Amino acid sequence: MTETAAPGPADNRLEITGQIVELDALRHTPAGVPVLGFKLEHRSRREEAGHPREVAVELAAKAMGEMARLLAGSRLGIKIRVTGFLAQKSAKIRQPVLHVIAIEFVEGN
Protein backbone atom coordinates (compact mmCIF):
# COMPACT_ATOMS: atom_id res chain seq x y z
CA MET A 1 0.00 0.00 0.00
CA THR A 2 2.00 2.92 -1.22
CA GLU A 3 0.96 6.49 -1.77
CA THR A 4 -0.87 6.85 -5.01
CA ALA A 5 0.74 8.95 -7.69
CA ALA A 6 -0.96 11.72 -9.64
CA PRO A 7 -4.74 11.96 -9.51
CA GLY A 8 -6.43 9.74 -12.11
CA PRO A 9 -9.70 8.09 -12.98
CA ALA A 10 -9.24 5.45 -10.24
CA ASP A 11 -8.82 7.96 -7.42
CA ASN A 12 -9.79 6.76 -3.99
CA ARG A 13 -7.98 8.73 -1.36
CA LEU A 14 -9.29 10.38 1.72
CA GLU A 15 -7.61 12.49 4.34
CA ILE A 16 -9.57 13.20 7.42
CA THR A 17 -8.94 14.26 10.99
CA GLY A 18 -11.04 13.09 13.88
CA GLN A 19 -11.38 11.57 17.28
CA ILE A 20 -11.38 7.85 17.93
CA VAL A 21 -14.82 7.18 19.40
CA GLU A 22 -14.81 3.37 19.21
CA LEU A 23 -11.87 1.02 19.31
CA ASP A 24 -12.29 -2.75 18.84
CA ALA A 25 -9.95 -5.30 20.34
CA LEU A 26 -6.95 -6.13 18.19
CA ARG A 27 -7.54 -9.34 16.25
CA HIS A 28 -5.54 -11.29 13.70
CA THR A 29 -6.34 -12.78 10.32
CA PRO A 30 -5.77 -16.54 9.96
CA ALA A 31 -2.39 -15.70 8.40
CA GLY A 32 -1.51 -13.66 11.49
CA VAL A 33 -1.96 -10.13 10.17
CA PRO A 34 -3.23 -7.79 12.92
CA VAL A 35 -6.56 -6.09 12.25
CA LEU A 36 -8.17 -3.30 14.21
CA GLY A 37 -11.59 -1.83 13.62
CA PHE A 38 -12.41 1.60 14.98
CA LYS A 39 -14.70 4.57 14.48
CA LEU A 40 -13.57 8.06 13.74
CA GLU A 41 -15.70 11.09 14.50
CA HIS A 42 -14.93 14.19 12.54
CA ARG A 43 -16.27 17.67 13.41
CA SER A 44 -15.35 20.88 11.69
CA ARG A 45 -16.58 24.07 10.06
CA ARG A 46 -16.49 24.06 6.29
CA GLU A 47 -17.70 26.21 3.52
CA GLU A 48 -20.31 24.85 1.16
CA ALA A 49 -21.65 26.74 -1.87
CA GLY A 50 -20.29 29.96 -0.46
CA HIS A 51 -21.75 29.47 2.97
CA PRO A 52 -20.11 28.27 6.19
CA ARG A 53 -21.61 25.30 8.02
CA GLU A 54 -21.01 22.78 10.78
CA VAL A 55 -19.93 19.31 9.66
CA ALA A 56 -20.07 16.11 11.67
CA VAL A 57 -19.47 12.65 10.36
CA GLU A 58 -18.74 9.27 11.87
CA LEU A 59 -16.78 6.82 9.78
CA ALA A 60 -16.16 3.14 10.28
CA ALA A 61 -12.47 2.49 9.76
CA LYS A 62 -10.12 -0.45 9.64
CA ALA A 63 -6.38 -0.60 10.15
CA MET A 64 -4.21 -3.59 9.26
CA GLY A 65 -0.63 -4.67 9.85
CA GLU A 66 1.63 -1.95 11.25
CA MET A 67 -1.17 0.59 11.33
CA ALA A 68 -3.27 -1.77 13.47
CA ARG A 69 -0.43 -2.25 15.94
CA LEU A 70 0.17 1.48 16.10
CA LEU A 71 -3.47 2.19 16.84
CA ALA A 72 -3.89 -0.68 19.30
CA GLY A 73 -1.78 1.29 21.78
CA SER A 74 -4.11 4.22 21.42
CA ARG A 75 -7.25 5.08 23.37
CA LEU A 76 -10.64 6.63 22.96
CA GLY A 77 -10.77 10.36 22.47
CA ILE A 78 -7.44 10.62 20.75
CA LYS A 79 -7.32 12.84 17.71
CA ILE A 80 -5.67 11.48 14.58
CA ARG A 81 -5.26 12.39 10.96
CA VAL A 82 -5.91 9.41 8.76
CA THR A 83 -4.98 8.94 5.15
CA GLY A 84 -6.72 6.05 3.50
CA PHE A 85 -9.15 4.75 0.93
CA LEU A 86 -12.78 3.67 1.04
CA ALA A 87 -14.05 0.17 0.48
CA GLN A 88 -17.48 -1.27 1.08
CA LYS A 89 -17.86 -3.28 4.24
CA SER A 90 -18.39 -6.58 2.43
CA ALA A 91 -19.77 -7.98 -0.78
CA LYS A 92 -23.22 -7.81 0.79
CA ILE A 93 -23.06 -4.72 2.96
CA ARG A 94 -22.33 -1.66 0.89
CA GLN A 95 -21.59 0.76 3.69
CA PRO A 96 -18.17 2.40 3.20
CA VAL A 97 -15.28 1.70 5.52
CA LEU A 98 -12.16 3.82 5.67
CA HIS A 99 -9.06 1.66 5.29
CA VAL A 100 -6.01 3.25 6.85
CA ILE A 101 -2.84 3.85 4.87
CA ALA A 102 -1.18 6.31 7.25
CA ILE A 103 -1.86 7.84 10.63
CA GLU A 104 -0.63 10.97 12.24
CA PHE A 105 -1.34 11.71 15.88
CA VAL A 106 -2.49 15.30 15.99
CA GLU A 107 -0.83 17.63 18.50
CA GLY A 108 -2.70 18.57 21.60
CA ASN A 109 -3.44 15.01 22.78
Partner 1 sequence: MPILRVALDVALPGLLDYLAPDGTPADVGRRVRVPFGRGTGEKLGVVFALAEKSEIPAHRLRGALEILRDMPALPPDWLEMLAFCSSYYQHPLGEVVAFALPPVLRRAGPLPEPDVDTLWRATDAGLAARGELRKNAVALKVLDLLAREGPQRESHLRGLSAAVGRGLPEWRELDWIAEVRVPPDRRAVAGPELTSEQAEVLATLTAALGGYAPFLLHGVTGSGKTEVYLRLIETVLARGGQALMLVPEIALTPQLEGRVKSRFPGAHVVSLHSGLSDGARARGFLAALAGEADIVLGTRLSVFTPLPRLGLIVVDEEHDPSFKQQDGIRYSARDLAVWRARQRQVPVLLGSATPGLESWHAAASGRYRRLSLTRRAVALSLPRVRILDTRRIKLEEGLSPELLAGIVARLERGEQSLIFLNRRGYAPVLACPACGWISHCRACSANLVLHLADGRMRCHHCGAEGSVPRACPTCGNQDIHPFGRGTQRLESAMAERFPNARVLRVDRDSASTPTKWNALLEAIHGGRADILVGTQMLAKGHDFPKLTLVGVLNADASLFAADFRAPERLFAQLLQVGGRSGRADLPGEVLVQTEYPEHPLYQALATHDYDHFADAQLAERRQAGFPPFSHQALLRAEAPELAQSLAFLAQAKEAAAQLPERQEGVSLFDPVPMRLARRAHLERAQLLLESSSRPRLQAFLCAWLPRLRSLSAPRKLRWLLDVDPLEL
Q: Which residues bind partner 1 (CB under 8 A)?
A: 29-33, 35, 62, 64-65, 87-92
SS3 of 16, please? strand
Positive or negative torsion for Cα 19, 4, 97, 68: negative
* Residues 21, 36 contacting (CB under 8 angstroms): no
Rank residues 2 and 90 by Cβ distance to partner 1 and give the closer one.
90
Q: How far is the CB of 51 from partner 1 (least distance, A)?
A: 38
Rank residues 46 and 94 by Cβ distance to partner 1 and give the closer one.
94
Q: How far is the CB of 89 from partner 1 (least distance, A)?
A: 8
CA separation for the pair 104, 97 (Å, rounded): 19
CA separation for the pair 14, 8 (Å, rounded): 14
Rank residues 46 and 95 by Cβ distance to partner 1 and give the closer one.
95
Q: How far is the CB of 14 from partner 1 (least distance, A)?
A: 18
